Chains A and B, each alone.
Chain A
Amino acid sequence: MKNPVFITGKSLTCSLGEDLDMMMACLQQKQAPMDLIPLSLADPATSRPYYRIHPHDQTVRNNVETYFYKILFDTVARAIADAGLLQREVEDLAIFFGSTSIDIPIYESHYEKSDDDALNHFSQASYGYGAIVSETSKHFGIKGPCYTFTTACTSSANALLYAAAMIEKGSLERALVIGYDLFNNTGFYGFESLRLTATSACKPFDKNRDGIIMGEACGAVILERQCKRVQDFRYLGGANLCDTFNVTTHNVEGDVIAEVIRQAMLNAGVTPGDIAAVKAHATGSEMNDRMEANGMRQVFMTEMPPVTGIKPFVGHTVGAAGVVELILFTEAVKKGFLPATLGFTVMDEELMITPVTENMPMAAGIFILNYFGFGGNCTSMIICNRS
């Protein structure tokens, strides 16, 4: 008998701000502010859109390390407060942290200032993958075990899967799950080197798609055995698998994607007919659109539930996407709607997928959330707010 797992606290810092009500207003009004960032270190004449966080005081960005931890600690503090945890409950938390870049933003800022001689002697390119969570643990007086997941764009989705699994099997009472990726040049220039970045807009599943637009965000959720509010979403199950087709792309037929969705549904005890909607990974890249559409079609065949994508609102927040998109999706449903997929205008006949283009009334149901990433990672999770 598995213990139930509920999402009892959440908070988010992203390009839409840090107030969830304001974020929902943006989703309802289809507002998605973006910045244009020049590739000044390599190609100053070229800029790319990016979904940046806009702190009230822009000067806090000057010290990257301080800024990095301020965003992280503020976000976690709000999630803890939202769940109403007592101090002893905070101490007992286990932390599951998912990120693609981990401490790269901090390390980059130090690297940029170092001279070559110092780099030759001491360069390590990382302060250790576990360092961020250790600092978080110390800051909040958390005494539970810490796990850092780095599985590219599925990082925080996998973090959530394992936090939930440990609660389900009784190893943990509650857990803090964090998805965090802050702007860094490694990622910004790296995705440009792969020619994956869009020049104007993110248009998932659209025939005229233009690629991905990256974003930075920090999301945190508290998972607990006990439901605290009627509206709390319940985690029902999930799965992850590796598609060994290619390190950067999945098999376009979508076989492994279909299998991971099936395994997630099996674990959750639901069938395709139970699914009210799918939050697709929906990056807006050619390959992602094709493999995800094919994978979903294998599972749902002609009975495709409504499909939406969140990235046109906040960008592809890479490893943070698991938690970030979970929060935006669940908050929208709590407000009674399935958010529209911005940017979609022209159906791609090869995909035959038309995501929701207008906000659709939807207040309850069983939902699938998909996440895919480099290194063959495929993760799907099933959540529910239907009693």
Chain B
Amino acid sequence: MFIHSAVAHITAPADVKTLKEELKRHTEIHFRRISKFVLLALIGAYSCAARHCPDGAAAIYLTTENGNLADTESVLSQIYRSHSLPMPFNFINTMANTAAFYVAQGLGLCGRNLTVSSQNLSFERGMELLKADMDLGFVKHALIGLVDVATTAASHFAASPGISNTQVNQIDRSCWLYVTSERGGAMGELAAIQSFKTQNDAVQWLETNPDALSQNAVISFGSAVGLTEKKAWLNRVQAITSQPAREFDYAGNFGNCNVTTACAVAHFMNTFSAARLFHINKNFSDQYVILEVSRC
């Protein structure tokens, strides 16, 4: 699977008006009654498509941890606080797949269209589904992204006793890759995506890859991998390669939560000069996934 375009749209929590202005920079299409979640999806996907025009049969894999929080919130408020029927489009937008629909409609993509999630590993699981479709010949071109809104405004945390705003650096993010089965013109290759039931299994797999780890490679980590564990991983990589392990701290600018694998890959492709990235992530059951990305 080859990466032809990669975009990370990561900002402090933005309001709908700001995002609508941002979207206007990418398309003249006026999308009616769309929410922040949909706007984020469109901005990221359009940015990615601007760098490499997607094939009309391209599939869409939208991954998300939380889906459309704002519209769900509105619907709950309308039902439970205002005692009214919800507004129809608020209700429709509670279904996160509407964002994938609008991306398909806006970009004219009629292929497979999925919205998937998996606690803390949403992007990785989406990649696995895309790989299955490519391996079986169902899909040759795809946009795959992760979209999540900041779970709540920073001001809420600031006003809340006991929680420091600096500890909860909330961000909106919409990170997308355009992936095809064709090497020609690609900027990178998704060389491997491996799932492991335990940390030990993941370590053993890395040990089988000393050459790849030695070739100007960097290591990045998912948000559930803590500082102590990161150090242990870097030490392990150093032991495997007999050279200092380099961490790619893609999260540095964004605080230490809410950053994702999709952000890491997109930032690696666009900003980092190493040849190869190993991204190590896990869920809260300590199941691991390692994504290996190399530059073409």
Contact status A112-B125, CB under 8 Å = no
- Which residues of chain A from 168 to 199 have a CB within 8 Å of any chain B CB? 168-169, 171, 185-186, 189-194
Across the interface, which residues of B come within 8 angstroms of A146, CB to CB?
118-119, 125, 283
Residue of B nearest to A191 (CB): B91
CA distance A243 to B83 in the complex (A): 34
Residue of A131, A193, A240, A241 near B91 (CB, 8 A) is A193
Known contacts A128-B119, A158-B114, A169-B132; decide if A186 and B79 are in contact (CB<8 Å). yes
Contact status A112-B60, CB under 8 Å = no
Known contacts A125-B72, A189-B79; decide if A149 and B128 are in contact (CB<8 Å). no
Known contacts A189-B86, A244-B110, A375-B98; decide if A112 and B80 are in contact (CB<8 Å). yes
B233 at the interface (CB under 8 A from A): no
CA distance A131 to B259 in the complex (A): 18
| A-B contacts at CB below 8 angstroms, number | 209
B174 at the interface (CB under 8 A from A): no
Number of interface residues of A (CB under 8 A): 68
Across the interface, which residues of B come within 8 angstroms of A102, CB to CB?
67
Residue of B70, B101, B159 near A376 (CB, 8 A) is B101
A138 at the interface (CB under 8 A from B): yes
CA distance A186 to B78 in the complex (A): 10
A165 at the interface (CB under 8 A from B): yes
Chain B 129-171 per-residue mask, 1 if CB under 8 angstroms from chain A, else 0: 1001101101000000000000110001101100000000000
Residue from B88, B101, B157 having most chain A Cβ neighbours under 10 A? B101
- Which residues of chain A from 79 to 123 have a CB within 8 Å of any chain B CB? 100, 102, 104, 107-108, 111-112, 116, 120-123
A73 at the interface (CB under 8 A from B): no
B108 at the interface (CB under 8 A from A): yes
Contact status A124-B97, CB under 8 Å = no
CA distance A31 to B265 in the complex (A): 54
Residue of B84, B195, B284 near A145 (CB, 8 A) is B195
Contact status A376-B104, CB under 8 Å = yes
Contact status A149-B116, CB under 8 Å = yes
Known contacts A162-B132, A194-B88, A242-B111; decide if A42 and B152 are in contact (CB<8 Å). no
B96 at the interface (CB under 8 A from A): yes
Chain B 57-97 per-residue mask, 1 if CB under 8 angstroms from chain A, else 0: 00010001111011011011001110111111001101111
Across the interface, which residues of A come within 8 angstroms of B67, CB to CB?
102, 126, 129, 150
Residue of B76, B86, B116, B129 near A108 (CB, 8 A) is B76
Residue of B nearest to A260 (CB): B112
CA distance A146 to B117 in the complex (A): 9
Given contacts A124-B69, A374-B92, 11 further A-B contacts (CB under 8 A): A104-B94, A124-B151, A125-B76, A126-B69, A128-B65, A129-B117, A143-B197, A146-B125, A186-B94, A241-B112, A376-B113
Interfacial residues, chain B to chain A (CB-CB below 8 A): 60, 64-67, 69-70, 72-73, 75-76, 79-81, 83-88, 91-92, 94-98, 100-102, 104-105, 108-122, 125, 128-129, 132-133, 135-136, 138, 151-152, 156-157, 159-160, 195, 197, 283-285, 287
Interface pairs (9), CB distance under 8 Å:
A2-B136, A100-B95, A121-B156, A121-B159, A138-B285, A146-B283, A147-B129, A162-B129, A194-B92
